[in-house]
Amino acid sequence: MSYCINPHCQKPQNSGNPLFCQTCGSDLLLDGCYRVTRMLSDPNRPSGFGTIYEVDDSGTLKILKVLHNTHPKAIELFRQETEVLKQLNHPGIPKVDSDGYFTFLPRDNQKPLHCLVMEKIEGMNLEEYLSQRNYQPISERAAVRWLKQIAEILHEVHQKQYFHRDIKPSNIMLRLDGQLTLIDFGTAREVTQTYMHKVAGQQVTGIISTGYTPPEQMKGKAVPESDFFALGRTFVYLLTGKCPDDFAENRRTGELIWRDGVTNISQRLANLIDYLMAPFPGNRPKDTQEILELLAVIEPTARATKQPVQNIQVPVSGGSSQQVAVVSGGGSQKESSLAFGLFWRRFLAFIIDLLVSFIFLGISIIVALNIVNEDDYGLANVVIIGGWIISTWLYFALLESSTKQATLGKMALNIVVTDMKGNNISFFRASWRYLLIVFFSYFYIFFVGMLVDFIVPFFLKKNRSVHEMMSGTVIKKRSP
């Protein structure tokens, strides 16, 4: 069968292999070599950009994109997309032949159609793939491997000063050999549609992929980091089996609340995905190289190697960071030495906070001397001890639950307190944490309490004190 691409043809399907359409008379052998076999675009969802077809090129099936928008700006950007795709050479990007771009004039049409022929990817897109799995989430191993593949593809694209702007599961193809391929390079389409809608004074709706488009792109201000946001949202879908739009967002920060109940991935991978889809572009990875460096930490093969490591910070929710070790060519610092270094930061911060606590004790004594009679020792003790306990409690609870996430001692040593997901802790959690510190530090013999709670556990695998485990908190080095 031969398919006519004349947009005004009433009956585009032709039986056999004729040279001309039996209905409108247009050429069916495009550019002298391409025969259209079928339309791949959904006829029930017409695009203002164009239509996608399957074509036969001397026995090889390829993809044909036909531009319907005849505005000069649309044509310019379509050609630009073509030239960029010709320059890119990566197994994760559809190949375009040097003569893949041509124009076609249907019968009785005054303006030609601009056409682009490219490689056809055998396989299915990731939206279809997850549907076939009944939306069963992929494993962490598959996620890391696929995330690395897409980051490498984007590295190639961004190096050409070009970015995709429409990354989502349906635009990522899984080849039969397991290689991912990014398709439907939408820069020309999206810029064109934005431009045309603005000219017409209409609301811009065509450039938004619900659940995946970043906030800045919705405002017409897409940047290369916009690809990272959409990439992070794509992996939320793959790791949960749910559309990102099904999850709520933090009203204060705009961050997606998706990690509750997800048990099939490590905290490091979850932190990286949150980093990718930070609401503000400046809080996302600065480039694809940074993503690849962070992935080297998470990859099972990288974790198993004994190569030297370099320590970097992975920003996570709430302004804190996850310290990780990246395989590198130099340095020999080990994670145990990192734990030792953080231990001394925490210990010195504790000494500073203890001195602050003694200042509160001194203030309580001064207040007691000024408001209590000299012979009323019982009331004086109540004022002193009560004032000391309340002021110290408020000092810890208010500062650790604030945006600073740290007491004065922790601020001085550049460390913060977060929950297990890297978010700010609540006043209640900070109060519970403080009470546990008091219990272990004062209601045991002081040294024994510190030994049981703070010193010994910190040198175990988790590197967390008992009161942190019980309160669901963790201390980390603040991100730069």
Rg of the chain taking only CA atoms, in angstroms: 30
| DSSP assignment string, 28-75 | SEETTTEEEEEE-S-TTS--SSEEEEEEEETTEEEEEEEE----HHHH
Q: Which two tokens stand for residue 40?
A: 């791949």
Pairing outcome for strands 2-3 and 13-14: antiparallel
Q: Which two tokens stand for residue 309?
A: 């490591």
How far CA 408 is from CA of 42, 357, 390, 398, 416, in Å, comes to 61, 11, 17, 11, 10
Angle at 441 between CA 440 and CA 447, to 5 degrees: 105
Distance CA 451, CA 457 (A): 8
Q: Mention every residue, 6+ apart, whose C-beta is less than 8 A from residue 60.
A: none
Distance CA 153, CA 121 (A): 15
Which of 166, 184, 274, 353 is catalytic? The answer is: 166
Q: Which two tokens stand for residue 217?
A: 């792109």
Residue 246 annotated among the catalytic residues of the structure: no
Do 425 and 419 touch, CB atoms closer than 8 A?
Answer: yes
Q: Which two tokens stand for residue 155?
A: 């590295």
Find the length of the chain. Answer: 480
Pairing outcome for strands 29-30 and 34-39: antiparallel
* Active-site residue set: 166
